[in-house]
Amino acid sequence: MSDIKSTSPVAPPSQTLLNDKWDVVLSNTLVKTGLGFGCGVLGSVLFFKRRAFPVWLGIGFGLGRGYSEGDAIFRSPVGLRHTQA
């Protein structure tokens, strides 16, 4: 057997932190947009005789909320928040 070390590239900690932040931001935005879409559909069916504007409004609120939280995550000088299990 040979003692050949694998030379797989290892990302620097700053790149890993950036990748982790992007993962959180994209998943958060996707969840917020989905919730906005669901609330828009529900509001459209229950209150607005199946009009389209509540759905678009919900999607817009979800995207805006995801963007603002993502901006706060990227501007934060510390890493990501971790919850205690």
- Per-residue pLDDT tens digits for 37-84: 999 999 999 998 888 999 999 999 999 999 999 999 888 877 666 666
Is pTM beyond 0.85? Reply is no
Structure tokens at 75: 């501007």
The amino acid present at 6, given as its one-letter code, is S
Q: CA 38 to CA 41: how far, in whole Å?
A: 5
Q: Which amino acid is at 16?
A: T
d(CA 60, CA 40): 10
In one letter, which amino acid is 19? N
Q: Residue 20: its pLDDT value, please? A: 83
Per-residue pLDDT for 21 more than 90? no
Find the angle CA(65)-CA(71)-CA(73) to the nearest 5 degrees: 105
Looking up tokens 């932040």, which residue turns up?
A: 21
